[in-house]
Amino acid sequence: MRRLRRFLRTPEAVAGTILLTVLFAMALSASLLFPGDPQAIAGPALLPPFQDWSLPLGTDRLGRDVLAELFHGARTSLAVGLAAAAAALVIGAVVGTLAGFAGGLVDEVLMRITDAFQTVPGFLLALAFVSVVGPSLGVVVVAIALGTWTGPARIARAEVLSIRERDYVAGARVIGMRPLEIAFREVLPNALPPVLAMSSVIVAAAILTEAALSFLGLGDPNRVTWGGMIAEGRAVLRTAPFLSIVPGIALVLTVLGVYLAGEGIVETTAVRRGLS
C-alpha cells in the first residue's frame, strides 16, 4: 500500500498510468464501440475531422472511419508491443541465466551468439526477417523479439554471475538439486528484477519498431496498424494531414505512457531498495 502511494506521488508515474489506462481501455473496447471490420468503408472519402459526428475523426482515402481504425490500431500496437517484449524477456532471461550459471564453454558460445545479434541493428534484422518470411502478426512479433532479446540476456547473465556465488545457491547444491533446477528455480527468479526494469524500454521500442515496419508496408495487411495508417496518409500529407497526424499522436502518447509508467515503477522499487 505504501509502495502504491509512493508510486502515485511521482507525477510522471501518474501521467504514464493514465495514458496506459486510456490506451488499454481503447484496445479492450474497440470491438464493443466499433464492431465489425474497422477497414470497412463507412462514408465519403477524405472527410476532415469534426465535420460529421458519426465519423468524428473523419475518413481516409477510401472512406474508412479513422476513429475506428485508431481504436483497433491500439489493439495491434499493444498486442505486438507486449508480445514482442515478453518474448524478448523470456529468451533473454533464459539465455542469460544459462550462460551465467553454466559458465565455461556454454557461456562463451551463448555470449558470442548474443554479440553476433547485437552487432546487427535490431530494426535491420526485423526488416530482413519479415521480408523473407512474409508479413503477419506472429512474424512481426518474432522479428522484433529477435533484435531485442540481447539486452535482457546480458543483464540476466551479469546478475546470475553474482547470485550463483550466494550461500543459498550453495545450499541448494548441497541438498542435491540438479543444476538446471537450481538455475531456473533459485537463481533466475532472483535475477529477474533488474531485467524486468528494462521491460518498459523494450515495450516502447517494440511498439515503435512495429509502427516502422507497418509504415514500410511490412506489417500485417489484414490488420489496422498505426504505422500503416501514417503510411497511407503520407500520400495526401499536404491535403489531409490529419490522416498522418492522428495516428502519429496516438503513437507518441503510447510510447510516452509506457515509458513514464516504467520509470515510475523503477523509481519506486529503487527507493524501496535504497530504504531497506
Q: Give the binding site for other proteins (CB under 8 A).
A: 37, 39-41, 43-47, 52, 61-63, 131, 134-135, 217-218, 221-222, 234-240
Angle among Cα 202, 208, 212 to the nearest 5 degrees reads 140
Nearer to other proteins, 44 or 171 (CB): 44
C-alpha span between 63 and 41 (Å, rounded): 5
Shortest CB 217 distance to other proteins, Å: 6
3-state SS, residue 41: strand
End-to-end CA distance of the chain: 16
Nearer to other proteins, 37 or 181 (CB): 37
Nearer to other proteins, 90 or 235 (CB): 235
Shortest CB 187 distance to other proteins, Å: 44
Shortest CB 127 distance to other proteins, Å: 12
Assess contact for 254 and 229: CB atoms under 8 A. Answer: no
Cβ contacts of 263 within 8 Å, gap of 6 or more = 12, 13, 16, 200
Nearer to other proteins, 189 or 217 (CB): 217
E-strand ranges in the chain read none
Shortest CB 215 distance to other proteins, Å: 13
Shortest CB 161 distance to other proteins, Å: 45
Shortest CB 207 distance to other proteins, Å: 21
The x, y and z cell numbers of residue 132, run together, are: 523473407
Nearer to other proteins, 182 or 240 (CB): 240
Nearer to other proteins, 17 or 131 (CB): 131
3-state SS, residue 238: coil
Gyration radius of the chain's alpha carbons: 22
Nearer to other proteins, 230 or 260 (CB): 230
Assess contact for 120 and 178: CB atoms under 8 A. Answer: no
The x, y and z cell numbers of residue 152, run together, are: 535482457
Assess contact for 127 and 216: CB atoms under 8 A. Answer: yes
Shortest CB 223 distance to other proteins, Å: 10
The residue count for the chain: 276
Closest by CA position to 77, among listed 135, 149, 23: 23
